[in-house]
């Protein structure tokens, strides 16, 4: 066995035990990385005797650690070099003197100071691997103890890990299917012996040298010939997190999260240790197949916790969306193994292997693809708040149509009665306009929020499209209701055009979006001229100019043309900031708007030196805005983003 040093965060084995009462610092201290996983240029070791949740660590220099290893002597073995070192153990390449064979020698670093949990894990690995005599599982030769340090003598595998072989590169689909078929059969054998791995991943699949590299030696192993020739014989290694089906022995507490986040089944990610069984290993094989097909695991967040949240709540992007050449049948097999609910996966790894064999042989597969309604239903069950938001948006879009048609009808009725009761007509007009304004504002906010939430789940792109399509059908009714109707508040019509411009922009229809923004600008320019005392009217006109500038930039127009729009907006907001005329635009919002214009100017500066100056001025304005309205969370978020 030759453990490679994993530098990627998402490939480290994690153990997290939520304390009864803990601070973020405490939680960070209880995240432990398993043997063989290095981080950076130094070796991170748990100090012997440190209790659970301790944040005490010692930092050894690798060169020193390797030198120490060369002087160690284990009875019957000659240590040749250090292969890997991690939080709990070290793995040496050694020669077994009596049999004159090269082995991998695995030892606990803490020796006689090892905790009961560390010793129990070590014994579990020895017992698990010891009974698994299989061509695709690393074999154990001896279990012993030297100087109070337990050790395992394991089969040494020369070809490195599957992770190193893959190198984050998509593999040919038949190669991927045959590789996972071989591993699934090996895990089906292990499960039949009552052993669950709990940490399957490419880094824990070791490879012999490919057959073509073995100078013509024949092989008696059971791997598929294509896999053996191109990759070498795969052998599952590192059963350090394994457990037996018939007993847990209290080794794993409820709530403990064990495994590697990117390959961890949802029941593992939720800390439901009692529910983690053979189907969790099947899920990991599905994640491994996904990586072989796409070059990346199905979930990979910016941190361990982001990844765990994705595993628990999100559906994987279908492999064919990342690699269009992935066949539908193989994608169906992969996604079935990656089902969130264990009962929805294959009955066991043997059935998974059989379906992969069917795919390779060109026979009909057993799995059926998940329908779009079922996928949406499952997502809704896991994300009830976002699902409710999406439904609310849809209902409000329908409401906009009803409200806009209704208030236009009432306005026409009240106009006819105006000669009898002008005051009542004005009140009706204001009520109708207020209803339209409220409906538009609410729909605009909810559509934006729904798009933001749904964008975190690429597999739900079709739902995002449907919401935008519904909005495109409903919102124009408000603008159209204003045609030829002098009683309809022009601000509402302008707002409707702005909303429609934003929706078209999200749909990528830039020319149509520009036309809507231009219509809004025409109305707002007249309003600003008619009401010079209204600061908000000037601000609305500035927003329309910014929107048109953004579209022009996306359409590839010269930066000088784009800057012209931003400079016009700047002059409008600057005048309001320096010489306010009314009280209809809060000072904090004026400063926020001016900071936003500075940010746009920084994106299209006349010379490179101006960009930094614009951003500095924008930061000053945002800080002043926060000082004026410290309770305004949106302002604080803008300030944090600006500093970031």
- What gap in Å lies between CA 518 and CA 548, rounded to an integer? 7
- What gap in Å lies between CA 227 and CA 218, rounded to an integer? 15
DSSP 8-state assignment for residue 55: -
3-class DSSP state for residue 150? Answer: strand
- What gap in Å lies between CA 94 and CA 143, rounded to an integer? 15
- What gap in Å lies between CA 105 and CA 364, rounded to an integer? 45
Task: With CA atoms as reference, report the closest residue to 352 among 488, 503, 177, 480.
Answer: 177
Task: With CA atoms as reference, report the closest residue to 9 among 427, 297, 275, 233.
Answer: 297
The DSSP result for 331-388, as a single string, is: HHHHHHHT-SSGGGS-SSHHHHHHHHHHHHHTPPPS--PPPHHHHHHHHHHH-HHHHH
Q: Within 13 Å, how many C-alpha atoms sit on residue 169's CB side?
A: 8
Is 641 in contact with 601 (CB distance < 8 Å)? Answer: no
Is 130 in contact with 143 (CB distance < 8 Å)? Answer: yes
The DSSP result for 213-249, as a single string, is: GTTT------S-HHHHHHT--EEE---TT-EETTB-T
3-class DSSP state for residue 58? Answer: strand
Is 337 in contact with 285 (CB distance < 8 Å)? Answer: yes
Task: With CA atoms as reference, report the closest residue to 292 among 198, 113, 165, 196.
Answer: 165
- What gap in Å lies between CA 326 and CA 318, rounded to an integer? 10
Is 213 in contact with 79 (CB distance < 8 Å)? Answer: no
For the CA atoms of the chain, what is the radius of gyration? 32
Catalytic residue among 188, 199, 281, 355: 199
Is 378 in contact with 460 (CB distance < 8 Å)? Answer: no
| Active-site residue flag, 32 | no
Distances from the Cα of 482 to the Cα of 472, 475, 489, 494, 616, angstroms: 17, 12, 8, 10, 42
**Helix or strand run (H / E) with residue 300:** none
Q: Which residues are 59's β-sheet partners?
A: 44
Q: Give me 578's structure tokens.
A: 């320096």
> In degrees, to the nearest 5, what angle opens at C-alpha 126 toward C-alphas 15 and 244?
65
Catalytic residues: 199
């Amino acid at each position: 066995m030759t453990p490679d040093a994993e530098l990627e965060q998402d490939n480290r084995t994690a153990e997290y035990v939520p304390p009864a009462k803990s601070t973020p610092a405490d939680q960070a201290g209880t995240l432990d990385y398993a043997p063989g996983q290095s981080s950076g240029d130094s070796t991170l070791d748990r100090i012997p005797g440190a209790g659970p949740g301790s944040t005490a660590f010692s930092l050894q220099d690798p060169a020193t650690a390797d030198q120490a290893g060369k002087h160690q002597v284990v009875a019957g073995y000659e240590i040749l070099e250090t292969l890997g070192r991690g939080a709990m153990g070290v793995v040496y390449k050694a020669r077994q003197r009596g049999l004159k064979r090269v082995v991998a020698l695995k030892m606990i670093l803490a020796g006689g100071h090892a905790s009961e949990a560390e010793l129990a894990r070590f014994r579990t690995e020895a017992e698990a691997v010891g009974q698994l005599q299989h061509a695709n599982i690393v074999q154990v030769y001896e279990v012993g103890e030297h100087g109070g340090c337990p050790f395992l003598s394991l089969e040494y595998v020369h070809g490195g890990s599957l992770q190193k072989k893959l190198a984050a590169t998509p593999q040919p689909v038949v190669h991927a299917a045959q590789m996972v078929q071989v591993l699934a059969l090996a895990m089906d054998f292990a499960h039949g012996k009552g052993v669950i791995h709990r940490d399957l991943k490419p880094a824990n699949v070791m490879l012999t040298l490919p057959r073509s590299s073995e100078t013509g030696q024949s092989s008696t192993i059971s791997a598929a010939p294509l896999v053996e020739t191109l990759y070498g014989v795969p052998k599952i290694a590192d059963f350090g997190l394994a457990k037996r089906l018939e007993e847990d022995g209290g080794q794993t507490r409820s709530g403990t999260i064990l495994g590697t986040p990117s390959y961890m089944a949802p029941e593992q990610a939720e800390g439901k240790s009692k529910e983690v069984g053979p189907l969790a290993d099947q899920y990991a094989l599905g994640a491994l197949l996904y990586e072989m097909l796409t070059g990346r695991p199905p979930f990979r967040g910016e941190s361990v916790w982001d990844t765990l949240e994705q595993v628990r709540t999100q559906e994987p992007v279908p492999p064919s969306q990342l690699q269009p050449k992935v066949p539908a049948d193989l994608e169906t097999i992969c996604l079935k193994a990656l089902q969130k609910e264990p009962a929805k996966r294959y009955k066991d790894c043997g059935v998974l292997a059989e379906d992969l064999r069917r795919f390779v042989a060109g026979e009909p597969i057993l799995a059926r693809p998940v329908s779009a309604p079922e996928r949406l239903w499952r997502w809704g069950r896991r994300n009830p708040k976002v699902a409710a938001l999406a439904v609310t948006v849809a209902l409000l879009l329908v409401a906009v149509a009803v409200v806009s048609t209704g208030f236009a009808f009432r306005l026409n009725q009240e106009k006819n009665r105006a000669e009898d009761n002008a005051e009542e007509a004005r009140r009706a007009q204001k009520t109708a306009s207020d209803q339209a304004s409220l409906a538009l504002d609410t729909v605009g906010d909810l559509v934006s929020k729904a798009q933001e939430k749904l964008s975190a789940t690429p597999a739900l792109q079709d739902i995002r499209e449907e919401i935008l399509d519904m909005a495109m059908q409903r919102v124009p009714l408000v603008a159209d209701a204003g045609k030829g109707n002098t009683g309809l508040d022009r601000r509402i019509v302008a707002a409707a055009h702005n909303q429609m411009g934003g929706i078209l922009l999200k749909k990528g229809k830039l020319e149509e979006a520009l036309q809507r923004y231009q219509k809004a600008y025409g109305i707002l320019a007249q309003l600003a001229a008619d009401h010079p005392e209204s600061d908000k009217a000037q601000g609305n006109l500035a927003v329309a100019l910014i929107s048109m500038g953004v579209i022009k930039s996306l359409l590839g127009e010269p930066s000088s043309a784009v800057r012209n729009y931003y400079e016009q907006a700047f002059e409008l907001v600057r005048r309001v900031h320096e010489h306010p005329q009314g009280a209809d635009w809060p000072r904090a919002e004026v400063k926020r708007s001016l900071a936003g214009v500075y940010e746009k100017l920084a994106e299209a500066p006349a010379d490179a030196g101006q960009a930094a100056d614009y951003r500095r001025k924008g930061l000053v304005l945002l800080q002043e805005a926060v000082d004026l309205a410290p309770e305004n969370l949106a302002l604080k978020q803008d300030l944090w983003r600006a500093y970031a």
